[in-house]
Structure 1
Amino acid sequence: MKWKRSERLVDMTHYLMEHPQQLIPLTFFADSYQSAKSSISEDLSIVKETFEDRGIGLLVTVPGAAGGVKYIPKVPDSAVVSIINELKLELGHSDRLLPGGYLFMTDLLGNPELMNRIGKVFASAFCDQKIDVIMTVATKGISIAHAIARHLNVPVVVVRRDNKVTEGSTVSINYVSGSSRRIQTMVLSKRSMKSGQRVLITDDFMKVGGTMNGMKNLIEEFDCTLVGCAVLVEAEHPDERLVSDYFSLVKLKEVNEKDRTIELTEGNYFSKGGNEE
């Protein structure tokens, strides 16, 4: 069956967006659509221009016999600002305030459309890094981890607080919780990661960074490398952070439990260099 150009463009675009960060040989498209490589190259030029004009992402061509084309999800600054403002508006409602200065975020973390956009934002910040796996702690950070992983096309590993028989052999560490200063435990299956992998860690909320620091120590136990940290909301805290190199979208500046007021500002995403071209 001979494909029309309009059909090729639709199917090619869909395939590229379903396989981000994956190098796809031009011969794959040529064989799939029974078209010459020159026609495929022209099609890809149209897709590339549209992606960049619409702020969908980048289409990178790698020359040579082993080359091909790769779709890199990218979010324009205006879209990042829009998401941050949306989060500030949603999180600023007084009925979200919980004891201890925490915010109720379960409904937002369960919103697939919002999580997909947030995942793409964080993926944009790390699109030029080699990342092999996304790590988070059960349970609140799982939806964010999967959203980021979707756009980086890498697996997710979930650190647990206790041992599960379904995890098989595990590695466990003790760490100090940043806010309560209590000794807690993290557990991860030995089969979850391989030595030498590059890891991005993420969580929904960070006060001092005890959980992040615990994951960092766990990564070292696996002889892997920490690439970076992605946090949805960080809290203003007078104590010294246990982690310093992280990206956040929103900062919780101050809460007044008596008046039930919440002050939120933009996180450090742009100041850390997120979305630099």
Structure 2
Amino acid sequence: MKFKRSERLVYMTQHLVSHPNQLIPLTTYVEKFSQAKSSISEDIRIIKDVMDSEGLGVLKTTAGANGGAMFIPKISLERAEEIIKYFKKELEESERLLPGGYLYMSDIMGDPKMMNDFGDLIATMYGDVEIDAVVTIATKGISLANAVARKLNVPVAVIRKDNKVTEGSTVSINYVSGSTRKIETMVLSKRTLKEGSNVLVVDDFLRAGGSITGVTNLMEEFNATVAGVSVLVEAKQVANRRFKDYTSLLKVSEIDEYNESFVVEEGNCLDYIKDK
């Protein structure tokens, strides 16, 4: 079958975007379309120029006999600001406030479009960091972790609070919960995470940071390095937070359960995007 250039461009763009952070040899497309390597190289240049001009991501190319192309998800600052603005609007709904000062976010965590947007944003912040796996804590952080991991093209490691027979051999630690001050347990299957991995920890909400500290301690059991921590929302006015090196999309403060009010403001993520 003979493909027109326009048809090749559609296929190649979709294929590259579907395999982020993976070098695709040009021979893949040479063989697929029975075209000369010079023609495929020109196709790649066209895709790259459009992505650059429209802020659709980064297309890196390598020359030589083993040359290829790699799509790296990256959004513009303007697009990041749109995502934060929409998220802020959604979170500011007063009926989200629950007893105990918690915020209802299950609908947001279950929204595939918002998760895709958050994946793009977080992947942009950590796109230049070597990440081998995305780590989260069951259960609310799983959808976010999957969205980010999809963009970075790395596996997800889910930490649980109880041992399941289907997990096989596991590693567990005890940690102090930041909100309840109770001793709790974290469990991770040995098969889930490779020794010596660089991991990105993601979660939906950050309070005192006890859980994230527990994750960091658990990663030490795997000789893994925490290369970054990113959360959707953080509680702003928290004393004695156990760590400070993290990114957040939004901050909440001045929570008043009686009047059902709270204040939402931008987190520090846009500062990270500006530096990219």
* Structure 1 counterpart SS, 2:40: helix
Whole-angstrom CA distance in 2 between matches of 1:38 and 1:98: 60
Give the CA deviation at 1:268.
0.9
Whole-angstrom CA distance in 1 between matches of 2:247 and 2:69: 29
Look up the equivalent residue of 1:145 and give its one-letter code. Answer: A
Whole-angstrom CA distance in 2 between matches of 1:255 and 1:199: 32
Cα contact 2:81–2:270 (8 A) shared by 1: no
Residue 269 of structure 2: aligned partner: 269
Give the CA deviation at 1:275.
5.0
Residue 257 of structure 1: aligned partner: 257
Q: Which aligned pairs between 1:152-231 and structure 2 lie closer than 5 A?
A: 152-231=152-231
Whole-angstrom CA distance in 1 between matches of 2:134 and 2:67: 26
Whole-angstrom CA distance in 2 between matches of 1:49 and 1:161: 47
Could you tell me which runs of 5 or more consecutive residues in structure 1 were left unpaired when the two chains were aligned: none
Residue 237 of structure 2: aligned partner: 237
Q: Alignment length, in residue pairs?
A: 276
Residue 151 of structure 2: aligned partner: 151
Cα contact 2:80–2:270 (8 A) shared by 1: no
Whole-angstrom CA distance in 2 between matches of 1:275 and 1:122: 13
Whole-angstrom CA distance in 2 between matches of 1:210 and 1:82: 31
**TM-score, scaled relative to structure 2:** 0.97
Give the CA deviation at 1:146.
0.3
Residue 49 of structure 2: aligned partner: 49
* Percentage identity across paired residues of the two chains: 52
Whole-angstrom CA distance in 2 between matches of 1:22 and 1:168: 30
Residue 11 of structure 2: aligned partner: 11
Q: What whole-Å deviation, never above 9, does each CA across 1:100-138 have from its counterpart, x for those lacking one?
A: 221100001000011001111000111111111000000
Residue 38 of structure 2: aligned partner: 38
C-alpha root-mean-square deviation of aligned residues, in Å?
1.1
* Structure 1 counterpart SS, 2:270: coil
Residue 139 of structure 2: aligned partner: 139
Residue 122 of structure 1: aligned partner: 122
**TM-score, scaled relative to structure 1:** 0.97
Give the CA deviation at 1:144.
0.3
Q: What whole-Å deviation, never above 9, does each CA across 1:51-81 have from its counterpart, x for those lacking one?
A: 1222210000122333311000001111111
Give the CA deviation at 1:231.
0.3
